[in-house]
Amino acid sequence: MRSYPRSGPGGRLPAAGRLAAGVVLAGALLAAGGCAVGPDPVGPDPVGPPAEVAVPAATASPLPTGPSSRPAPARVPDTLRFTARTLDGTAFSAAELAGRPVVLWFWAPWCATCASPAWTVAEIAPKYRDTVPIVGVAGLGEQRAMKDFVTEFDLAGTPQLDDRAGALWRRFEVVEQSTFLVIDRDGKVVHQGFLDGADLTRRVAALAG
């Protein structure tokens, strides 16, 4: 049978007993403190949920709230509802020019009166390509002669349509060359007829405004 030390007067342990008890209590506190500050166990907690990673608010991409900045497509007027092929065989759609003033130039490769404005077209067409496109419509001749005309007058910088069948000449009721058809940005024909180089330059510059 295990014996315990008797307490002294007043129920207190003797001094030696109190010292031993204090040593035992201090050891227990140190052991408990060592567990509290020790390293975390390796590996995830098998019971608790995984930790969530906070994402800084500055890294979030705000959603667009305003109206779209993309411009609405321009309405295609009846005057520009046609397609064709250029002299080099490229597909051409006049609808892509909608929303801008356009100049159609009807010419023939053998036409002497077409030579003078041809130099002007070659000069100004590249400058106004994006604001007032000038499009040649070649007819009344052979394709080889048309290509030679384009080369001679340096017209490769602007579209030149192959209209040997005369479809566009008939569509716009063109009966002679050189004829310029000037179409404003709303699709309205504001001039149809001959223009010399100076008149053509002045009209195109005004339309580019």
Task: Give the model confidence (pLDDT) of 140-156 as tens digits.
Answer: 999 999 999 999 999 99
The predicted structure's pLDDT at residue 71: 56
* Token pair of 48 as six digits: 């608790």
pLDDT digits (tens, 9 = 90+) for 54-109: 434 444 444 444 444 555 678 999 999 999 999 999 999 999 999 999 999 999 99
* Token pair of 106 as six digits: 């009807």
Instruction: Give the phi and the psi of residue 71 in degrees, each rounded to 5.
Output: -70, 150
| pTM of the shown model | 0.66
The predicted structure's pLDDT at residue 19: 36
The predicted structure's pLDDT at residue 70: 54
The predicted structure's pLDDT at residue 157: 87
Average pLDDT over residues 165-174: 97
| 39 pLDDT higher than 80 | no
The predicted structure's pLDDT at residue 73: 72
37 pLDDT band, cuts 50/70/90, is very low
Comparing 5-9, 70-74, 160-164, which segment has the lowest mean pLDDT?
A: 5-9
Looking at the chain, the whole-number percentage of residues with pLDDT higher than 90 is: 63
The predicted structure's pLDDT at residue 22: 41
Q: What is the CATH number of domain 78-208?
A: 3.40.30.10
Q: Could you please report the per-residue DSSP string of 58-81?
A: GGSPPPP-S---SPPPPP--GGG-
- The Cα–Cα gap between 162 and 171 comes to 14
* Token pair of 124 as six digits: 């100004």
| 160 pLDDT higher than 70 | yes
**Long-range own/partner contacts, residues 122-127 (CB < 8 A, 24 or more apart):** 122/153, 122/154, 122/155, 122/157, 122/158, 124/200, 124/201, 124/204, 125/155, 125/157, 125/158, 126/157, 126/158
